[in-house]
Amino acid sequence: MQTFRARLLSLVGFTGLLLACGDGPTGPGIQPQIINATDNFQYQVSNVLDYTGTLSYTWQNTGVQATINQSTTVTSGSITLVILDANDTQVYSRSLPDNGTFTTAVGVAGAWTIRIEYNGADATVNFRADKTT
Q: Are residues 112 and 82 in the same domain?
A: yes
The pLDDT, as a whole number, for residue 130 is 98
Q: What is the pTM of this model?
A: 0.78
**12-57 tens-digit pLDDT:** 444 343 333 334 444 544 678 999 999 999 999 988 999 999 999 9
55 bridge partner residues: 116
The pLDDT, as a whole number, for residue 22 is 38
- State the total domains in the chain: 2
Strands (E), the chain: 33-37, 40-61, 66-70, 73-84, 90-95, 100-103, 110-131
Q: Are residues 14 and 77 in the same domain?
A: no
43 bridge partner residues: 34, 127
Q: Is the pLDDT of residue 11 over 70?
A: no
Q: Are residues 62 and 114 in the same domain?
A: yes
Quick check: 43 and 32 in contact, CB under 8 A? yes
Give one DSSP letter per residue of 23-48, joined into a string: --BTBTT---EEEEETTEEEEEEEEE
Which CATH number do you get for residue 104?
2.60.120.260
Q: Are residues 46 and 95 in the same domain?
A: yes
Full domain range(s) for residue 20: 1-29
Percent of the chain with pLDDT over 70: 77
The pLDDT, as a whole number, for residue 65 is 98
pLDDT band at 81 (very low <50, low <70, confident <90, very high): very high
Q: Is the pLDDT of residue 90 over 60?
A: yes
Half-sphere exposure of 70 (CA within 13 A, CB side): 20
The pLDDT, as a whole number, for residue 26 is 46
